Copies of this chain bind each other. A is one copy, B any other.
Amino acid sequence: MKLEQDSYLPLRDVVFNALRDAILKGELHPGERLMETHLADTLGVSRTPIREAIRMLEKEGLALTIPRRGAQVAQMSEKDLEDVLEVRDALDALAVKEACERITSERLSALEVNMKQFEKAVEKGDIREIADADEAFHAVIYDAADNPKLASIVQNLREQMYRYRYEYLKDKAYHALLIKEHKEIYDGLKAKDRENVKDAMHRHLENQIDAVRQVIQEQSK
């Protein structure tokens, strides 16, 4: 017997997911207007769920509404990026510290599997797959930290740069480095060497900064 779990999702959530994906994939560009009636027509729903979805995007930092002028896809300045990365750096350090203490052998195996999948995705050159594998790899670490609040905050911070990260993942020059860094993080976690993992994670993040910064500078031209 199988119960039909969660076959239902409120339209506001469907709309929210659709818009978030569109923003993160870059289909909706920063600054682009999010007009209620237009979105309602496009997505084939009424304005009610659209408006609720926009409020949620707002709180996630993916949209910005100016009263009486409507919502638009959030811009991200270089300063914003640096701010986000600074916070992520601190939270990654925390996550890694906790993960070192708590990670199980099962999770370590999962991490290894994800690491391999990342390498395979890189070989194939499928950007989408690379991005997903990277997400999965890091998700295991956040889960291992056993702090859902931390995980959700970091997830949100990651999402904020997702748009730009996607661009730089296209550049194959970084791929080998990423594989090497994941290996270092994995080895460190396996050895439960807190300081080493923290440093590896920090370098992993640092290396993204310049790359993403370039993307932003390109786009603002």
List the B side residues contacting A80 at CB < 8 Å.
149
Q: Using Cβ atoms and an 8 Å threshold, which residues of chain B touch A150? A: 83, 86-87
CB of A59 within 8 A of chain B? yes
Taking a contact as CB atoms under 8 Å apart, the answer to whether B94 and A87 are in contact is: yes
Chain B nearest CB: distance from A131 CB in Å? 22
A interface bracket (residues with beta carbon within 8 Å of B): 20 to 34
By the criterion CB–CB under 8 Å, are B83 and A148 in contact?
A: yes
State the CA gap A148–B86 with chains docked (Å).
11
Chain B residue at minimal CB-CB distance from A13 = B67
Given contacts A12-B55, A55-B12, A58-B56, contact A87 B83 (CB under 8 A): no
Tell yes or no: A147 within 8 A of B by CB.
yes
> Within the assembled complex, what's the spacing in Å between the Cα atoms of A19 and B2?
40
Instruction: Choose among B9, B91, B153 the residue that contacts A67 (Cβ–Cβ < 8 A).
Output: B9
By beta carbon, the residue of chain B nearest A86 is B147
Tell me if A149 and B59 are in contact (CB < 8 A).
Answer: no
Q: Is A68 interfacial (CB-CB < 8 Å)? A: yes
State A86–B146 Cα separation when bound (angstroms). 11
Interface assignment of A44: CB less than 8 Å from any CB of chain B: no
Please report the C-alpha to C-alpha distance between residue A9 and residue B68 in the assembled complex, in whole angstroms: 10
Q: Is A93 on the interface with B (CB-CB < 8 A)?
A: yes
The answer to the question of A90 belonging to the interface, with a C-beta cut-off of 8 Å to chain B, is yes
**Does A51 count as interface, using CB distance less than 8 angstroms?**
yes
Chain B: CB-nearest residue to A150? B87
A-B pairs, 6 with minimum CB distance:
A59-B59, A83-B149, A90-B94, A55-B55, A83-B147, A52-B55
A127-162 interface bits toward B, Cβ cutoff 8 Å, 1 = contact, 0 = none = 000000000000000000001111001000000000
Question: Taking the complex as formed, is A184 at the interface, i.e. its CB lies under 8 A from any CB of chain B?
Answer: no
Residues of chain B within 8 A of A12, CB atoms compared = 55
